[in-house]
């Protein structure tokens, strides 16, 4: 069932407490070097201010120690940047639940925005502390979760706060960012258009075992590329030279291959190099890799084969690059798959992290249905995990 969103509640004259992800990168002068996370929250923010709601924003930034304010992790620069983006002043409270926050919340008028200081300045946030959550919950009439990147966590602002607000009969809903992530990473995958093709790559099998197990249940094909593939080659008894492998995962890879059968598609040729460098001696290999060669990208025949699979799909989920895409010419496989996904008529979902970075870098981000904003959260959702922070939100 779909979750209620901020659009489903009347916010006029109400105080709305919204969990956002303003965990933006800062340089040494505490200048924001990439404000995309703030920009992405604007639709949910405007939905409150334009309908005369009073908005309190809360977020974490970085990993402070949790024993009090640390200026380098202050959210003050994010509040300033938000004000610039909105073209209106934004208030900032120098604490989270204490005197400054309380007095500024009390002074909020309809349409105003207040940013609270970093939630992680207190250990209570990470611990999911109920007393801390109770203080936040008491500030507002409506709770909104628009922080997908933290949805797999059980921090106070993600779970204990909505729990406390629900107990008082206050609405708890999702923001537009979280709504879109759920629509694609959960709903589209649970009720897939078929054929459903999953493409998995990246450095490690260990990071993606649970994703493979879950998707094997649901999808029609799993394409495996990246260094991950070489652990599967070992499981087939092949030699992979100096390739990056996880020898402790070979048995697991064997079991996956037995269970997956024809559903699993491995590379049929590999672009290898005799060293991990762009100017190494290169060779396309389709059998055992001789020493000192290592696999660095999928080969040309594999590219064609994978592209055909993508072309026939109605739903494509992609997580993890096909090779060392940061080091041309070993970006060719990832680039070709990115293009195939972007030009296909399938619903296309790109998991967060490196594949999201790759598709953005290659200029295809606006040609796919959804690029996830969460790394860990997106993988956990593909693993089929249920998130308490999402489950707790009101149903439509
Ligand atoms: P992950 O974080 O697991 O998605 O892995 C992404 C990283 O895997 C990227 O930095 C790629 O360069 C790396 N990678 C992909 N294929 C290979 C390969 N064949 N050999 C070494 N590293 C690889």
Q: Which tens digit of pLDDT belongs to each residue from 206-253?
A: 989 999 999 999 999 999 999 999 999 999 999 999 999 999 999 999
CATH of the domain at 142: 3.40.50.1260
Tell me: do 112 and 220 sit in the same domain.
no
| Last-in-domain residue among 179, 208, 224 | 179
Tell me: do 157 and 232 sit in the same domain.
no
| pLDDT confidence of residue 57 | 98
Query: Residue 328: how many CB atoms within 10 A of its CB?
Result: 11
Distance in angstroms (rounded) separating the CA atoms of residues 143 and 140? 7
- Domain containing 211 equals 192-382
For range 367-381, the mean pLDDT: 90
Taking the centre of ligand 1 as the mean of its atom positions, its distance from the CA of residue 309, in whole angstroms, is 22
More confident site: 333 or 353:
333
Closest by CA to 293, choosing from 242, 217, 330, is: 242
Give the chain's mean pLDDT.
Answer: 96
Closest by CA to 6, choosing from 74, 59, 57, 78, is: 57
Query: Bridge-partner residues for 223, per DSSP?
Result: 199, 265
216 falls within a domain: yes
| Last-in-domain residue among 148, 179, 210 | 179
233 falls within a domain: yes
For range 297-304, the mean pLDDT: 98
395 falls within a domain: no
63 falls within a domain: yes
391 falls within a domain: no
Tell me: do 112 and 257 sit in the same domain.
no
* Secondary structure class of 234 (helix, strand, coil): helix
| Last-in-domain residue among 146, 179, 212 | 179
312 falls within a domain: yes
Report the side by side order of strands in the sheet with 315-319. 264-265, 221-224, 196-200, 315-319, 347-350, 370-371
Pick the residue whose CA is nearest to atom 13 on ligand 1: 203
Which residues in the chain belong to E strands, given as ranges? Answer: 15-19, 54-58, 91-92, 113-115, 142-145, 172-174, 196-200, 221-224, 264-265, 270-273, 282-285, 294-298, 315-319, 347-350, 370-371
| Reported confidence tier of residue 43, pLDDT bands at 50, 70, 90 | very high
Closest by CA to 58, choosing from 112, 111, 108, 113, is: 113
Tell me: do 175 and 212 sit in the same domain.
no
For range 300-312, the mean pLDDT: 97
Cβ–ligand 1 contact at 204 (below 6 Å): yes
Cβ–ligand 1 contact at 320 (below 6 Å): yes
Cis peptide before 195 (omega within 30 of 0): yes
| pLDDT confidence of residue 386 | 92
Asked if 22 and 37 touch (Cβ cutoff 8 Å), the reply is yes
Q: Residue 36: which residues within 8 A CB-CB, separation 6 or more?
A: none
Tell me: do 235 and 126 sit in the same domain.
no
396 falls within a domain: no
Query: Bridge-partner residues for 284, per DSSP?
Result: 271
Number of structural domains the chain divides into? 2
Tell me: do 131 and 173 sit in the same domain.
yes
pLDDT digits over 91-150, tens only?
999 999 999 999 999 999 999 999 999 999 999 999 999 999 999 999 999 999 999 999
Cis peptide before 292 (omega within 30 of 0): yes
Tell me: do 197 and 145 sit in the same domain.
no
Distance in angstroms (rounded) separating the CA atoms of residues 89 and 79? 9
Tell me: do 101 and 222 sit in the same domain.
no
Tell me: do 243 and 274 sit in the same domain.
yes
Q: Residue 351: which residues within 8 A CB-CB, separation 6 or more?
A: 185, 317, 318, 319, 320, 372, 378, 379, 382
- Per-residue tokens: 372: 């996830």
Taking the centre of ligand 1 as the mean of its atom positions, its distance from the CA of residue 204, in whole angstroms, is 7
Alpha carbons within 13 angstroms on the beta-carbon side of residue 271 total 26
Taking the centre of ligand 1 as the mean of its atom positions, its distance from the CA of residue 153, in whole angstroms, is 26
Alpha carbons within 13 angstroms on the beta-carbon side of residue 133 total 22
Ligand 1 mutation target, pool 199, 201, 202, most atoms within 8 A of CB: 202
Cβ–ligand 1 contact at 119 (below 6 Å): no
Tell me: do 153 and 204 sit in the same domain.
no
Distance in angstroms (rounded) separating the CA atoms of residues 102 and 86? 24
- Per-residue tokens: 67: 């024993």
Cβ–ligand 1 contact at 354 (below 6 Å): yes
Tell me: do 174 and 62 sit in the same domain.
yes
Tell me: do 80 and 128 sit in the same domain.
yes
Residue 87 pLDDT > 90: yes
Gyration radius of the chain's alpha carbons: 23
């Amino acid at each position: 069932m779909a979750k209620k969103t901020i659009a489903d509640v009347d916010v006029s004259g109400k105080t709305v407490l919204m969990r956002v992800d303003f965990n933006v990168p800062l340089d040494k002068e505490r200048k924001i070097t990439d404000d995309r996370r703030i920009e992405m929250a604007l639709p949910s923010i405007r939905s409150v201010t334009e309908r005369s709601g009073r908005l309190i924003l809360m977020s974490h930034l970085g990993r402070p120690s949790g024993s009090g304010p640390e200026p380098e992790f202050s959210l003050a620069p994010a509040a300033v940047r938000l004000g610039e983006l909105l073209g209106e002043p934004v208030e900032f409270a120098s604490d989270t639940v204490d005197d400054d926050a309380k007095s500024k919340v009390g002074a909020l008028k309809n349409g105003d925005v207040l940013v609270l200081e970093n939630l992680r300045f207190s250990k209570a946030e990470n611990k999911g502390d109920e007393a801390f959550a109770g203080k936040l919950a008491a500030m507002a009439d409506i709770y909104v979760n628009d922080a997908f990147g933290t949805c797999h966590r059980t921090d106070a602002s993600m779970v204990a706060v909505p729990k406390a607000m629900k107990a008082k009969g206050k609405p708890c809903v999702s923001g537009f960012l979280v709504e879109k992530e759920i629509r694609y990473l959960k709903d589209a995958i649970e009720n897939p258009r078929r054929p459903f093709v999953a493409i998995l790559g990246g450095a490690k099998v260990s990071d993606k075992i649970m994703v493979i197990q879950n998707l094997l249940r649901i999808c029609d094909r799993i394409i495996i590329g990246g260094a991950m593939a070489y652990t599967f080659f070992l499981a087939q008894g092949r030699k992979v030279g100096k390739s990056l492998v996880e020898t402790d995962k070979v048995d697991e890879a064997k079991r996956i291959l037995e269970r997956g059968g024809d559903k699993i598609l491995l590379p049929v040729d590999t672009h290898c190099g005799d060293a991990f460098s762009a100017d190494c001696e290169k060779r396309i290999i389709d059998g055992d890799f001789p020493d000192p060669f290592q696999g660095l990208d999928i080969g040309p025949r594999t590219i064609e084969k994978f592209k055909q699979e993508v072309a026939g799909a109605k739903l494509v989920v992609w997580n993890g690059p096909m090779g060392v895409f940061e080091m041309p010419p070993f970006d060719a496989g990832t680039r070709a798959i990115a293009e195939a996904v972007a030009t296909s008529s399938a619903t296309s979902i790109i998991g967060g992290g490196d594949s999201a970075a790759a598709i953005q870098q290659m200029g295809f981000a606006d040609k796919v249905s959804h690029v996830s904003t969460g790394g860990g959260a997106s993988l956990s959702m593909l693993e089929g995990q249920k998130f308490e922070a999402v489950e707790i939100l009101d149903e439509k």
